[in-house]
Amino acid sequence: MSVTGLPTMLENLKSNSAAVADVSPGWAQGRAVYGGLAASIALGGMEQLLTEPKPLRSLMVNFVAPMAEGAARLDARILREGRSVTQACVDVYSSEQVAVHASAAFGAPRSAKAVASEYAFKPEPRTSVPALDLGQTQLPGFLQRFDIHWTGGGIPMSGTGERRLGMWVRHKDDMSAFPAAKIVALADIPPPVMMAHFTKPVMASSLSWSLEFVRPAEDVKSDWFYLDYTLEAAADGYSQQSGCIFTEDGQLVALSRQCMVYFE
């Protein structure tokens, strides 16, 4: 099966005046396509409406229903366009129902006082473990589009009860033409950390996801990123986890927060 890379799908969406994305087979994760792909397509629909490029500052995504492979229709609109900040939203339709609802804030840089982040960059060395064996049958096929070194625990079904995981990730495709989507698409790779509290398979998926950019994606030249994610709490079948996305040299790029559901 030939799998279309994310850059090609985003380029096709960019040139498609009908605002329809063709989601390639091979990106499924259970009943739906990979959430990072769905969020990247939603972002692409909003970016098309910008009268001038502005860095992505925040992205909010609600996964309303499973988004299937095949054609996805986008209904994007500008909510407000100011001198510095533009806010937009988009509904992504799959099988004639809303599958993803997303909103984004794009903001031009302004001269202002800065406060440095205090998030600690303490990664396990990428070379401390071999690359993830993506040939394992239980792993979703979309992971074949990435290089992954899972260095920091939080292994699903391990029963360890760990609250943290760490991994190094990079795209196999050249994403330089889509700097924001480059980060969005890999920031959703970590599974629910809650899954490390079970010894058998459980169903789990994202309900909502926010991603806040600390640095403009256009300024980030790193290909490898370190994802450091923590389970904050879990109860009643819902879990909350947060994460930091760092460049290879330790610069904080974005902050992630997800509400996830799990079914025992």
Cα–Cα distances in Å, from 242 out to 121, 125, 199, 230? Answer: 15, 21, 23, 5
Between 45-59, 122-136, 172-186, the lowest mean confidence (pLDDT) is in: 122-136
- Which pLDDT score is estimated for 2? 72
Q: Could you read off the pLDDT of 128-156 as tens digits, one per residue?
A: 999 999 877 678 889 999 999 999 999 99
For residue 30, what pLDDT band results from cuts at 50, 70 and 90? confident
- Average pLDDT, stretch 184-197? 96
Higher pLDDT pick, 15 / 166: 166
pLDDT more than 90, % of the chain: 88
- Residues 101, 89: Cα–Cα separation, whole Å: 7
Q: Could you read off the pLDDT of 64-97 as tens digits, one per residue?
A: 999 999 999 999 999 999 999 999 999 999 999 9
Q: What is the DSSP letter of 199?
A: S
What letters, b where the CB count within 10 A reaches 16 and e where it falls short, cover 57-87? bbbbbbbbebbebeebbbebeeeebeeeebb
pLDDT of residue 1 exceeding 60: no
Higher pLDDT pick, 167 / 26: 167
- Which pLDDT score is estimated for 139? 84
CB atoms within 10 A of CB 142: 21
Residue 33 CA neighbour count, 13 Å, CB half: 27
Q: Which two tokens stand for residue 258?
A: 């997800």
- Which pLDDT score is estimated for 247? 98
- Domains detected in the chain: 6-109+120-263 (2.40.160.210)
- Average pLDDT, stretch 120-125? 95
Higher pLDDT pick, 201 / 245: 245
Q: What are the two backbone dihedrals, phi and then psi, of residue 58, each rounded to the nearest 5 degrees?
A: -150, 150
Q: Which two tokens stand for residue 105?
A: 């804030």
For residue 18, what pLDDT band results from cuts at 50, 70 and 90? confident
pLDDT of residue 212 exceeding 90: yes
